[in-house]
Amino acid sequence: MNSDPASDIPFESSPEGAADPTAAIDQGFARIAELEAQLEEAKKERLLALAEVENAGRRADKRIADNSKYAVSNICKALLQVADNLGRALLAAPPEVRNSSDALKNLAMGVELTEKELLTVLESNGVRRVNALNQPFDANFHNAIQEVENVAVPSGTVTQVYQDGYVIHDRLLRPAMVVVSKGGPKRAAPAPDDKSDLNAGVNTTA
C-alpha cells in the first residue's frame, strides 16, 4: 500500500519573528484613529482660521466705516469757531440797536442767515449741540471752568454756559465750557432702570 506523499511532508510552524496578523490589524486601527484625530484637529484649525479671517474683515470694515464717519471731525471743529464768531457778532448788535439803523438791521439778518446755514451744514454731518444749561454736570460733555455758590439748585448743576459743546455722531467734538453750582442740596440719584435722562445732555439739532 502506497502512502500519500503529502503526508510525508512535515508540518512547519510560522518562522520566529513573522508578523502577527492580529497585531498588524491593531496597528492599522491605531493608525486610522491617529489619522482621524489629526483630521479633526485640522478641521478645528481651519474653522479657527476662518473665524479669525472673518473677525479681521469685520474689524477692517469697522475701521473703514469709522474713518468715513468721522473724517470731517477736524473741519467741523474748525467751523464751530466760525459759528461762535457769528454768534458773538449778533450779541454785539442786540435788537434795539439793530432797529436804529436799516443797514445794521440788514447786516444782522445776513449774519443770522449765515449762522443758520452753517449750523445746518454741521447738523447734516452728524454734529449736535450739547444741551448743558440746567443739566447735571457731566465730565463726558462739560468742562467746568468755575464753581459758584448757589443753594437754589442741586450741587453740580450747570448754571451758565460760556461756550456751547458739540458731539459728532456718538463722539465728543468739543466740550461745553460751563459754570457749575455748589452748596445746594444733593441731587437725587436716578433709578437704575430710568432711561429718561439717557440723552438729556445732547441736543438733536446743531
Q: Which of 114-118, 156-160, 181-185 has the lowest mean pLDDT?
A: 181-185
Local confidence band at 192 (pLDDT 50, 70, 90 cut-offs)? low
Residue 17 has pLDDT above 60, yes or no: no
Q: What is the DSSP letter of 8?
A: G
Q: Which of 177, 175, 187, 176 is nearest to 150 (CA)?
A: 187
What are the DSSP E strand ranges found in 96-206?
127-130, 142-149, 158-163, 165-168, 171-174, 176-182
Higher pLDDT, 9 or 143: 143
0.85 exceeded by pTM: no
Confidence category of residue 202, pLDDT binned at 50, 70, 90: low
Q: For residue range 111-154, list pLDDT tens digits in order.
A: 999 999 999 999 999 999 999 999 999 999 999 999 999 989 99
Domain 128-182, CATH: 2.30.22.10
Q: Considering the chain, what is the average pLDDT of its residues?
A: 83
Residue 65 has pLDDT above 80, yes or no: no
- The residue type of 83 is A
Please state the separation of Cα 78 from the chain's center in Å.
23
Band (11; pLDDT cuts 50, 70, 90) = very low
Structural domain boundaries in the chain: 73-125, 128-182
* pLDDT class of 195 with cuts at 50, 70, 90: very low
Q: Report the distance separating Cα 177 and Cα 142, nearest Å.
A: 6
What is the Cα–Cα distance from 45 to 99, expressed in whole angstroms? 78
Task: Give me 168's grid cell.
Answer: 459728532
Give the pLDDT of residue 4.
53
CA distance 58 to 52: 10
Amino acid code (one letter) for 188: A
Neighbour order of strands in the sheet with 171-174: 127-130, 165-168, 171-174
pLDDT, one tens digit per residue, over 72-83 is: 899 999 999 999
| 148-178-165 Cα angle (round to 5) | 170
